[in-house]
């Protein structure tokens, strides 16, 4: 089982996977009635060709099922990729599934705390740049506010308030868990968009961890795809 820790309490874990490095080339060669049993240089050339010329359907035969634990604000950004797969005209299949733990049934008890606090970028309204000077004071305010909110949430639950209502006061730092199943193409698209400097730092960490996991799961296919799209 492949599992990678992310941030202070998060993780990405591979639950299951479908296919191997030969899956893509055998899917592509089915038109000619051919099937390989060993990956070689000709397969490298074919994978490069397919990726470079955007022949994506063979890559969708590779799928991975992940168990992911991340702060709610990270999951909100992540879910945009799920919605994108649903609505994009360039994706002819809905090659994914997404299920999340429910705060209606399970109380939340873990929250993310940054190790440092970043400064708002002057050039990019949605990005950070460097660190603020008041690190100690910011940490104090952060912890006080978050701890007070968590304490209030637990008191409301002790009063018998419904979980579905009490959860509405929780901060976006609350950790949530999902199971995400997606094709190789969808996963690599997520990595391409989120492992880059303008993405929020926290989701970048998940994208970097995801890339390492994909290199272990489908080493040849991930390496060749990366050469085309990432290592420019």
Alpha helices in the chain (DSSP H): 21-29, 41-52, 72-87, 135-158, 163-166, 184-194, 201-217, 219-229
Instruction: Report how far residue 3's alpha carbon sits from residue 61's, in angstroms, rounded to the nearest whole number.
Output: 22
Encoding tokens for residue 173?
């730092």
Long-range contacts of 206-213, Cβ-Cβ distance < 8 Å, separation of 24 or more: 206/6, 206/10, 206/12, 206/68, 206/70, 206/74, 206/78, 209/4, 209/5, 209/6, 209/12, 210/12, 212/4, 213/2, 213/4, 213/12, 213/14
- 35 included as an active-site residue: no
Select which of 60, 76, 143, 194 is catalytic: 194
Write out the catalytic residue numbers. Answer: 194
């Amino acid at each position: 089982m492949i599992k990678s820790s992310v941030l202070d309490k998060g993780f990405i874990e591979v639950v299951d996977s479908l296919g191997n490095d030969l899956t893509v080339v055998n899917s592509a060669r089915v038109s000619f009635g051919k099937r390989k049993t060993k990956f070689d240089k000709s397969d490298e050339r074919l994978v490069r060709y397919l990726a470079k010329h955007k022949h994506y359907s063979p890559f969708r035969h590779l799928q991975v099922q992940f168990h992911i634990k991340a702060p709610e604000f990270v999951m909100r950004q992540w879910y945009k990729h799920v919605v994108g797969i649903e609505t994009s005209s360039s994706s002819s299949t809905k090659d994914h599934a997404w299920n999340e733990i429910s705060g209606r049934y399970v109380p939340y008890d873990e929250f993310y705390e940054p190790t440092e606090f970043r400064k708002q970028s002057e050039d990019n309204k949605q990005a950070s740049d460097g660190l603020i000077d008041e690190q100690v004071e910011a940490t104090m305010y952060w912890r006080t506010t978050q701890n007070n909110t968590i304490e209030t949430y637990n008191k409301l639950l002790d009063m018998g308030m419904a979980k579905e209502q009490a959860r509405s006061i929780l901060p976006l730092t609350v950790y949530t868990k999902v199971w995400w199943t997606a094709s190789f193409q969808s996963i690599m698209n997520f990595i391409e968009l989120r492992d880059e400097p303008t993405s929020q730092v926290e989701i970048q960490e998940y994208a970097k961890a995801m890339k390492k996991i994909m290199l272990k799961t489908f080493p040849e296919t991930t390496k060749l795809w990366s050469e085309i799209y990432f290592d420019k």
